[in-house]
Amino acid sequence: MTDELTPETPDEDEQPIKQRKNGLYPGVSDELAENMKSGWADTELRDLQPIEQAPNAARRRAALSARFPGERLVIPAGNLKTRSNDTEYSFRASTEYVYLTGDQTDDSVLVLEPTKDGHEATLYRLPRSDRENGEFWLNGMGELWVGRRHSLTESAALLGVACKDVRELAEALKEATGPVRVVRGHDAGIEAALADKVTAERDEELRVHLSEARVVKDEFEIGQLQKAVDSTVRGFEDVVKVLDKAEATSERYIEGTFFLRARVEGNDVGYGSICAAGPHATTLHWVRNDGPVRSGDLLLLDAGVETDTLYTADVTRTLPINGRFSDLQRKIYDAVFEAQEAGIAAVKPGAAYRDFHDAAQRVLAERLVEWGLVEGPVERVLELGLQRRWTLHGTGHMLGLDVHDCAAARTETYVNGTLEPGMVLTVEPGLYFQSDDLTVPEEYRGIGVRIEDDILVTDDGNRNLSAALPRRSDEVEAWMAGLKK
Ligand SMILES: [Mn+2]
């Protein structure tokens, strides 16, 4: 990447520091400044059609409006975060903002202004860069540096919401009167402007509402999740095809291979890929991915492509690196598969959310007792939770814009709630025998297995969105053999 403009005649006493974001660069002659103002074509885009999810976003804003009548609601997209010096992490807009607008532009803020019969939505965002004052090329946030932005008129046409200059928002919020709530954690500047008008408790109610609103997905969201899963399936196939290269290098080869698919077909990975070979599979969130990949070991790959609309898949397969499970690996794998089957069967409308977890845990406890790793009976093991030494985590979670979606939802609507058509959740039991677990026979140590699928609750049961990836041990082997040919 290139650096900023270099001053023609640096004068260290007068202009010791180059200002990237807000100041003008030194050393620009009046003639050049004047020259840069003109000679640019009108590129305004006309007759733009609204984005596909615009009507869905409008419905979501209407539901939000109905929940908080008479209150001003402020939902920021968030700001760029510094990675180092003058480089930033790639931007990912806040889930709440994306859900309510379909937009992903940094520094933007959605404001719902109360009116007598509801709310009026306004999107505050940066307009096109000014050419007259030189900001488009003399400021590091100018379009010459970061790329063309949509004009406010273009954005309004695309998103179906009136747009205004975000640089006027903080002042307007400071002066405004009446009740107001903001989604916290995304935009410190906006929060500062509202500091003496909001309370943590009321803001949390807004966040909770937006989390619970996302529990049931609409048709657009289900389509996007299927798209994310389909790309993820191709990413898993990519990985199987290059396992020999991973053996010659490290888990990083697997991470990079999956990431290529994520970037080509989507926006990114929805979370750091877990590429855990051998004993690393027993570390639940192994994302260092710097270990060796060895024939004879298992690879636990937990990864998901995030679509350009920011919906993510979350899929795990545990694969024999050499294409064939050993007897013990198969025994453990088949137990997890059986637990997952029991879990998936418990996903249906009207069932308690906890049912699929309980169903999977029961199967795992039964096997652990059967193998003599824990003393039965199974009821005692489940009552005391003794299986959890090796099952470690919950059996699933909601999935959507966030990989752990709807996380702010109240216990009564989520964990203690009831499944409804349109919910999408993961079912992902696992068994993990740590390398240093002296309570299990030595041959178990360092084996970790998880199988995870993305399940849509339908009117009469469920649909496995990730069914295209085989799960049964013999089918996994056949699938791998087919890909490696
Ligand atoms: Mn998961």
Per-residue tokens: 324? 């064939």
Strand locations in 140-272, DSSP E? 162-165, 180-182, 268-269
Burial 321-332 (b: 16+ CB within 10 A, else e): bebebbeebbeb
pTM: 0.94
Name the residue with tokens 């009469």. 460
Q: What is the pLDDT of residue 140?
A: 82
Rounded CA separation 159/13 (Å):
48
Task: Quote the ligand 1 centre to 380 CA distance (angstroms).
Answer: 28
Residue 225 near residue 313 (C-beta atoms within 8 A): yes
Task: Quote the ligand 1 centre to 337 CA distance (angstroms).
Answer: 16
Fold type of domain 219-483: Creatine Amidinohydrolase (3.90.230)
Q: Domain locations in the chain?
A: 54-213, 219-483
Burial 138-177 (b: 16+ CB within 10 A, else e): bbbbbbebeeebbebebbbbbbbbebbebeebbeebeeee
β-sheet bridge partners, residue 462: 457
Rounded CA separation 277/289 (Å):
9
Q: What is the pLDDT of residue 141?
A: 83
Rounded CA separation 261/206 (Å):
36
Total residue length of the chain: 485
Q: What is the pLDDT of residue 368?
A: 98
Task: Quote the ligand 1 centre to 396 CA distance (angstroms).
Answer: 6
Nearest partner of 61 among 14, 115, 12, judged by Cα: 115
At 38-53, the pLDDT tens digits run 999 999 999 999 999 9
Task: Quote the ligand 1 centre to 429 CA distance (angstroms).
Answer: 10
Task: Quote the ligand 1 centre to 357 CA distance (angstroms).
Answer: 13
Task: Quote the ligand 1 centre to 28 CA distance (angstroms).
Answer: 53
Task: Quote the ligand 1 centre to 403 CA distance (angstroms).
Answer: 7
Rounded CA separation 303/356 (Å):
22
Per-residue tokens: 434? 């740590």
Helices (H), 68-196: 95-101, 135-138, 143-146, 152-159, 169-175, 188-193
Residue 280 near residue 287 (C-beta atoms within 8 A): no
Q: What is the pLDDT of residue 4?
A: 58
| pLDDT, averaged in runs of 10, over the chain (485 residues) | 53 39 65 93 96 98 98 98 94 98 98 96 96 89 93 98 97 96 98 97 98 98 98 98 98 98 98 98 97 98 98 98 98 98 98 98 98 97 98 97 97 96 98 98 98 98 98 98 91
Name the residue with tokens 């609204």. 50
Task: Quote the ligand 1 centre to 115 CA distance (angstroms).
Answer: 41
Task: Quote the ligand 1 centre to 388 CA distance (angstroms).
Answer: 17
Rounded CA separation 482/276 (Å):
23
CATH for the 54-213 domain, from 1.10.4030.10, 3.40.50.800, 3.40.350.10, 1.10.3720.10: 3.40.350.10
Task: Quote the ligand 1 centre to 426 CA distance (angstroms).
Answer: 6
Q: What is the pLDDT of residue 359?
A: 98
Task: Quote the ligand 1 centre to 229 CA distance (angstroms).
Answer: 13
Q: What is the pLDDT of residue 5?
A: 53
Task: Quote the ligand 1 centre to 402 CA distance (angstroms).
Answer: 11
Q: What is the pLDDT of residue 485?
A: 75
Q: What is the pLDDT of residue 8?
A: 47
Q: What is the pLDDT of residue 21?
A: 41
Task: Quote the ligand 1 centre to 299 CA distance (angstroms).
Answer: 16
Task: Quote the ligand 1 centre to 314 CA distance (angstroms).
Answer: 5
Task: Quote the ligand 1 centre to 372 CA distance (angstroms).
Answer: 29
Task: Quote the ligand 1 centre to 399 CA distance (angstroms).
Answer: 8
Task: Quote the ligand 1 centre to 302 CA distance (angstroms).
Answer: 8
| DSSP at 270 | S
Nearest partner of 156 among 147, 145, 165, judged by Cα: 165
